[in-house]
Amino acid sequence: MIRPQTCPICRQELDSTAPADSKWFPFCSERCRNVDLLRWSKGSYAIVEPLTPEQILEEMREYPGGYDEGYPEIPDA
């Protein structure tokens, strides 16, 4: 069974038409959207496992353009 979409902040079930109609999707309200933005700005969301320099280089080699465009290519070591 497919579970209904819920707001990632308050876990309120969203209406099935929410993605098409809501300007706050995937949140249920402007309040929840702002709570999420505040958490991002405070650094509440973070990678919990420290990355080694080797892991960082591997990621950079796998995505030489970066996740956005404009990053310089990493030369092979």
pLDDT at 15 (0 to 100):
81
Domains by residue range for the chain, with CATH: 1-70 (3.30.50)
Please check if 63 is assigned to a binding site: no
Tokens of 21: 């109609």
Please check if 41 is assigned to a binding site: no
pLDDT at 48 (0 to 100):
76
The chain-wide mean pLDDT, for the chain, equals 81
* Residues 44-72, mean pLDDT to the nearest whole number: 76
Please check if 40 is assigned to a binding site: no
Please check if 32 is assigned to a binding site: yes
Degrees, nearest 5: CA angle 29-47-42: 50
* Residues 59-67, mean pLDDT to the nearest whole number: 74
